[in-house]
Amino acid sequence: MWSFCWPATSPPCLPAPSSPSGWPGADPVGFSGSYAADDVTFLLKPVELAPTPVAEKERLIQSGARHYSEMLSAEEAPDATYLALFHQALAANRGRFAGDLARLAKALHRDRPPGEIVLASLARAGTPVGVLLRRALVRLGRPVAHYSLSIIRDRGIDRAALDWMLARHAADRMVFVDGWTGKGAIAGELVASLGREHAGGAAVPAPELVAVADLAGVAALAATAADYLIPSAILNAVVSGLVSRTVLNDDVVGPGEFHACVVQHHLAGHDLSRRFVDALMPDLEAALADAAVAPAVWGEGDRRDLADTSA
């Protein structure tokens, strides 16, 4: 399967961020959202887009009049119930999550060619994982670049963002990052869209997806197949750099432009993006230093076992 040969006031457990946010100016490249500038570069075009009410959005999608990626509904601040679930998941699973991230980082450090590793996280669920993997690889002594780009079901990967990366980094340095695989739809989209580009003669990276939890058995590298609650899965923009779900709409994205997003400035007072990754760093550093935390191994047999189980 993977035989490609292409070249708010936070609770005490969440520390306050220590440096200013990286919002876009005239040039969107360099946009880091509410993360520190060296944690991630979002290859997205910030736009203004009127929100579509949820019921109207569902009607348009179900009727085939619009694709889901053309519209966004308004994002509200998480209520007390969601915040409580987030903090409960963080308290319960922070050690497990940090250990899984350390295993992934150790495997990438061991198995990738010497030199730079380029992480291409899939916005936005992959973004916090990419931030933490970047920090882990830096702790292991690796030079790392981390970009977060868009991939949209039935529309493919953002070719403009991929071209921007390929103009600066070799294709064989790149790995794609997501939090989990779910039913495998996005992993399948990655394979399909890069396959089309490769068939057309483009030099593109192999569709090697790194995920914390590979529930679908489609990742090239994963730490586990267990369906446990990754804390960042509970929240949206407020744990992903204040960035919306990505948008591909001809009204706001022109030819050759990055896929779009709406920066959720109105949620800045509720943002937990940097507090979340900063809170996990002591656990992650301990796991990196622990020789008993071995590099992740995720072979064809692991994926086949999952496929057999789900059949």
pLDDT of residue 310: 53
pLDDT at position 112 over 80: yes
**pTM for this one?**
0.88
Digit-coded pLDDT (tens) for 225-243: 999 999 999 999 999 999 9
| Mean pLDDT confidence for 44-55 | 91
Q: What is the CA radius of gyration of the chain?
A: 19
Position 16 in a domain: no
pLDDT of residue 204: 83
- What element of type H or E holds 224? strand 221-224
Position 115 in a domain: yes
**Band of residue 78 on the pLDDT scale cut at 50, 70, 90:** very high
pLDDT of residue 30: 57
| Mean pLDDT confidence for 81-109 | 97
Residue that wins the pLDDT comparison between 52 and 291: 291
Average pLDDT along the chain: 88
Position 132 in a domain: yes
| Mean pLDDT confidence for 133-159 | 96
| Mean pLDDT confidence for 147-152 | 96
Any idea which of 62-66, 199-203, 208-212, 250-254 has the lowest mean pLDDT?
199-203
Position 220 in a domain: yes
- What total of structural domains would you count in the chain? 1
Q: Which domain holds residue 136?
A: 41-310
Position 15 in a domain: no
pLDDT at position 18 over 60: no
pLDDT of residue 26: 41
pLDDT at position 19 over 60: no
pLDDT of residue 88: 97
Contacts of 281 (CB under 8 A, 6+ apart): 135
> Which position has the token pair 């035989």?
3
pLDDT at position 22 over 80: no
Residue-wise DSSP of 7-74: --PPPTTSPPP-S--B---SS-TT--BTS-TTT-EE--EE---PPPPHHHHHHHHHHTSS-GGG--PP
pLDDT of residue 5: 33
Position 25 in a domain: no
136, 288 Cβ separation under 8 angstroms = yes
| Mean pLDDT confidence for 87-114 | 97
Any idea which of 21-30, 42-51, 100-109, 207-216 has the lowest mean pLDDT?
21-30
Counting residues of the chain whose pLDDT is more than 90, the rounded percentage is 72
**Band of residue 103 on the pLDDT scale cut at 50, 70, 90:** very high
Position 279 in a domain: yes
Looking at residue 270, the DSSP 8-state letter turns out to be: G
Contacts of 121 (CB under 8 A, 6+ apart): 40, 127, 129, 130, 131, 146, 147, 148, 149, 176, 177, 178
Of 281, 307, 305, whose CA–CA distance to 105 is shortest? 281
Structure tokens at 10: 């936070």
Position 26 in a domain: no
